Amino acid sequence: MTRRVVVTGVGMVTPLHTTTEGSWEALVAGQSGVGYVTRYELGEDFPVRIAAEVKGFDPLPYIDKKDLRKMDLFIQYAVAATEQALEMARYRVRPEEADRVAVIIGSGIGGFPMIEEMHKTLLEKGPRRVWPAFIPAVIVNMAAGVLSIRTGAKGPNVAPCTACSTGAHAIGDAFKLIQRGVADVAIAGGTEAAITPLAIAGFAAMHALSTRNDAPEKASRPFDAQRDGFVMGEGAGILILESLEHALDRGADILCEIVGYGLNSDAYHITAPCADGDGAVRVMRMALQDAQMAPEEVDYINAHGTSTPLNDRIETLAIKAVFADHARKLAVSSTKSMMGHLLGAAGGVEAAVCVLTIRHGVIPPTINYEYPDPECDLDYVPNQARRQDVRVAMTNSFGFGGTNACLIFKRFED
């Protein structure tokens, strides 16, 4: 017998706000977190000078000052989001259950800012000036490692690294560990802080980024006919998952239930999705099958919706293939229109958005939807949030290398 798994806490650090509540309010208000890059001076030779940076982040309420240098920014974001999620869940790891608590937090890229900084130090000042904690501060698994140490969680400690599917894979894997009895609780999600000159130059060289430097707030425009690429974002999204029995035993406030998880590969191209949406179609069907749910039961899809010409068209095609006539009745929105693409953190944040959508009965909009694309012809909740009863929400995440993930959340019904 598989166990039911529920969500009892969510935490978010996003380009819209450094807290969960502030991020949610900004999403519902349709605010944009995209602007000019402020941490670095990007010259006119940079074709892209915009991003969705986290603004006003203060790590000191969460992390001792002496420890900050040991954590690149992606770890700091994960710590902050996790503390928020634990506070919402009203949960702390007890020693007697520590080996039943998992920490599964991934990152798509890891500590890019410190890698660039230490490389510059090496070239300018020599190897003896490289920071001793440099390697632990930047490796992808250290967000999970640090949080295992901080919380005392002694169960599975894992860090998926699956590009833009990372956060969703972390949550889905945690769901399955609890469902089959390996753990009772999991701290799961994704984190990313890779807005640096090298990363921007690299993505720009691929022609993946929007070059709308003259109007940053309009640059991320999923499903719009004038979309021209994604906007780099950063932040963290963390969920607290528990077996239903564990949550009930401690009197937790249950936000919703996680019921479906799909994961697969396009096996097609290192960056482009299958032209017919095959991978996306199969991963959504897999999640529905795992949830033992008919397509008609889904009310809302938080789309991958990156604002790239190819992705948005093919995701729309895939949704129509999976949901048939019901696709026209679905609300489909992309919160990347407001936060940019958080890369490895995107799946974690967008899972948190689904949880809060079910909780509050409000669907965040797709902003900057101004020019309809005939090939993107679904209900994208354009420009204004919508108050709607949502019983079932799905979220899609598709990553470079053809790796895909899909999660399904459902209103908790005892």
What are the catalytic residues? 164, 304, 341
Give SS3 for 105.
strand
Contact 78, 110 (CB under 8 A): no
Contact 239, 7 (CB under 8 A): yes
* CA distance linking residue 379 with residue 190, whole number of Å: 28
Sheet holding 235-243, edge to edge: 157-158, 101-106, 185-192, 235-243, 5-13, 256-265, 403-410, 392-399, 300-302, 331-333
Q: State the DSSP string of 289-347.
A: HHHT--GGG--EEE----S-HHHHHHHHHHHHHHHGGGGGG-EEE-THHHH-B-GGGHH
* CA distance linking residue 45 with residue 198, whole number of Å: 13
Give SS3 for 398.
strand
Q: Count Cβ neighbours within 10 Å for each residue of 232-264 and write b for 16 or more, e otherwise.
A: bbbbbbbbbbbbbebbeeeebebbbbbbbbbbb
* CA distance linking residue 255 with residue 411, whole number of Å: 8
* CA distance linking residue 24 with residue 41, whole number of Å: 30
Contact 210, 220 (CB under 8 A): yes
* CA distance linking residue 18 with residue 24, whole number of Å: 11
Q: Which helix (H) or strand (E) holds 353?
A: helix 346-360
The single-letter code of the amino acid at 400 is F
* CA distance linking residue 322 with residue 315, whole number of Å: 11
Among 406, 168, 405, 389, residue whose Cα is nearest residue 299: 389
C-alpha distances out from residue 144 to 97, 160, 238, Å? 18, 10, 11
